[in-house]
Amino acid sequence: MDEHASHGQRRLRVGVVGIGWAGRQHLEAYANSDDVEIIGLAGLEPDLLAELQARYGIPHAVERWEDLIALEGLDAVSVAVPTFLHAPITVAALEHGLHVLSEKPIARNGDEGQLMVDAARRAGRVLEVAFNHRRRGGIAALKRVIDDGVLGRPYYAKASWLRRSGIPSLGSWFTNREMAGGGPLADIGVHVIDYALHLLGEPKVLSVSASTYSELGPKGRGGGVYGAQAAGSAFEVEDFASAFIRLDGGATLLVEAGWAAYRDEEDVMDFRVYGTDGGAEMRRVGTANSAVESLHVYTEEGDFDPEVGPSPGHQGVVDDFLAAVRAGEAQWTRHDGAVALHRARIIDACYASAAQHREVQL
């Protein structure tokens, strides 16, 4: 058994690669965990790197991710960098015997995601991907309703995440196809697909029929809220996508993901489901800390509004990741990134469908 194979009850030593918004969410969550010691941080912005190192008392702050994963005594690492770097960093970290928590999507495509899952299985280490939105209070409450059988058998669902002006930094890596892998379908649509299939009990996906649109981004529109126009890449991805997904058993799921469209100013994330004994509508309106969630359930016996609890966000993601690592070697193989890989395969099929103007089987 190597030095990383058993962690006992000692404090886990972790590192974070990436100091953008996502990386800072991981840092804060680790800092809130009593049994964790943050020993390394990697980032390319010297001033911000130094500021975060001082704020969290991190002994090692480096520019190169290679130097971070080589730190002696490191147990686990968060990978919170642009999507094109997920696979190389994650595979290298797993080969170093580290557990990995990667930001979503797992990678630019399913083939890269497969490399990550294969590496986790070879190493016998935990690989988790940060799907923080499935942990939202409204989604957690609706999951209990569906699992309790209140709605009967769900047969149709519609889920979306839509923005008015939400392209994240026009001209940045987000709008570069080679670096990002795709536009809103890959960026925020992956959350929608994840929480929808999670709510529906992980039914098998049979086929997809999808369309993508790029109408506002190429004109320099739609990027005012989530980042100003930036010099660099041309707009190479979609700014809106829609997918009709056929599920095993006859149910269907309609997904919409849009960074930019002429619609209401407020962001909306929602899920509507119709079942044989009832239906439900979950909506989250607004951005970040200003968002308001609501949940309504409709049944023959009467309608009601389940209590919506708090949304733990990345703290919930990190807590679950740490719990998986703490569960011990016998449980690590249950956390190999396979769910996130499945999401990536669905998105691959959606992009293929949109390009070929036909339904694609999975």
For 126, which DSSP code?
Answer: -
Fold adopted by 137-310: Dihydrodipicolinate Reductase; domain 2 (3.30.360)
CATH number of the structural domain 12-132+315-335: 3.40.50.720
Cα gap 55→92, rounded to integer Å: 28
Residue 58 dihedral angles phi and psi, to the nearest 5°: -90, 125
For 117, which DSSP code?
Answer: H
Cα gap 330→219, rounded to integer Å: 53
The tokens 């649509």 sit on which residue? 189
The DSSP bridge pattern shows strands 292-299 and 278-285 to be antiparallel
Handedness of CA 299, 201, 192, 306 (dihedral sign): positive
Q: Which amino acid is at 54?
A: A
Sheet with 278-285: strands ordered across: 292-299, 278-285, 268-275, 154-162, 252-258, 240-247, 205-213, 360-361
3-state secondary structure of 254: strand
The per-residue pLDDT for range 241-286, each reduced to its tens digit, is 999 999 999 999 999 999 999 999 999 999 999 999 999 999 999 9
One fold for 12-132+315-335 and 137-310: no
Query: How many beta carbons lie within 10 A of that of residue 290, not counting itself?
Result: 9
pTM: 0.95
Give domain limits for the chain: 12-132+315-335, 137-310
Helix (H) or strand (E) holding 213: strand 205-213
How do the pLDDT tens digits run along the chain, 362 residues long?
344 445 657 899 999 999 999 999 999 999 999 999 999 999 999 999 999 999 999 999 999 999 999 999 999 999 999 999 999 999 999 999 999 999 999 999 999 999 999 999 999 999 999 999 999 999 999 999 999 999 999 999 999 999 999 999 877 899 999 999 999 999 999 999 999 999 999 999 999 999 999 999 999 899 866 655 555 678 999 999 999 999 999 999 999 999 999 999 999 999 999 999 999 999 999 987 788 999 999 999 999 999 999 999 999 999 999 999 999 999 999 999 999 999 999 999 999 999 999 999 99
Using CA atoms of 25, 282, 245, 247 in order, give the dihedral in degrees to the nearest 10.
110
Cα distances (angstroms) measured from residue 125 to each of 128, 148, 222, 328: 10, 33, 41, 10
